[in-house]
Amino acid sequence: MLAIEDLFTQRRHWIGGEWHEARGTASFGVHDPSTEEVIGAVAGGSCEDVDDAVEAAAKALPAWRAAPLEERLELVSRLCDVMESDAGALAEIITSEVGAPVAIAGPAHVGLAVGIARSFIDVARTFPFEEQVGRSTLLREPVGVVGCITPWNLPLILISQKLPGALAAGCTVVLKPSELTPFSALRLAECTAAAGLPPGVVNVVTGDGPITGEAIVTHPKVDKVSFTGSTRAGRRVGSLAAESVKRVSLELGGKSANLILPDADLERAVRTGVHQATFNAGQSCIAWSRILVREDQEADATGLAAEVMSAMRVGDPRDPDTEIGPLVSAAALDRVRGYIRSGVDEGARVATGGPDPVPGLDRGYYVRPTVLSGVSPGMTVAQQEIFGPVVCVISYRDEADAVEIANATDYGLHGAVWSSDPERARRVAMHVRSGMLNINGYGFDPYAPFGGVKQSGVGRELGVEGLSAFLETKVVQVCG
């Protein structure tokens, strides 16, 4: 594999199992969010580059889909082994391009990515690729060439929610990572070769959404697009894919509620929720960014949230004691500070944090971890995805009002319900419109379907449904 410093400067795509010189002349500089310095650059993939990658995937498809399932799963398992052996380099890259603290870059960003990949192996081994229904045989066959487009916030994790499932299903892949955080995907491409995956099964083309991404979505030989990103970008992907009736999965935004019922352990619910909402500097679509508490508990909940938030150490992601690193870019910093200002302008109160610079951090895209109280459900900060370490405390009158507020956004991805009575919590959870909900705690299950309702997306990743997303059903019926 290339040395990391060479990877950061080579400006080539991974096509057909090897590095290919870019055909286009565009390039994108990549910044270290903690220093604002340019650490490298990647090529901006042209339509010709995308065509080369798709042709390589299409050429590799017949042999890969015909390979026995156990052979495919063995190669995915080897890929996991290679990723584990290369975890140090992958984590270093993620810290450099995302700004993720070293405390989570290895265990969470890399470790969880490998765990997700291994879960697909387990799911595929027991999946009913062929079964009898009445007089018919149902065959689940690979959808074909898959275009995977992934965002910058959790680059390796979100690739792992797509790539291993596609490979296990028998599909070949053209992957476009975010131009902000491309190097972990390029390192992963080298890992696929080290694991022995055949050339063309996995291809990586770097570039932006409007050029490279749209070239993938509209390519006639791409059979399925799996996209994770903003709801705005997801609308564009869905619209373009619809022109050729292309199969699409969309994992989009969230504005999740941490709904705390009055009989819950308030301190545990608030502390757990704040830590969940600030993971990866709050740059996570499943962040519980709204704390919902009954009116008479608002002051206590705000105080607890402010206590937890103000104690978090913000700083250099390479310091093992850092809990919250920088945001990914200057644009992200401006956006998050703008949301905090809009909250204040609309009547919210800053319990801790705020839009001002972090003391002592003159360089880097750092934001103060912030708690906003006195937030009403209709405020901008209560409706739109902030994507930073910001939580809003919102009060409700009664249980019905709490559910109404939880549901009063365009999103429905994740959330939590807390109560000393688990059955009460479950009953309330049944009324919250969300693809995923936790009761009395936080946990992530890679075997369970991941996805949301409303404008949080279309389709599911992970588990049986995540594998099914890369398959088509064929019915064969013998009539004579």
Active site residues: 251, 285
How far, in Å, CA of 468 to CA of 480, rounded? 31
The answer to whether the beta carbons of residues 154 and 161 sit under 8 Å apart is no
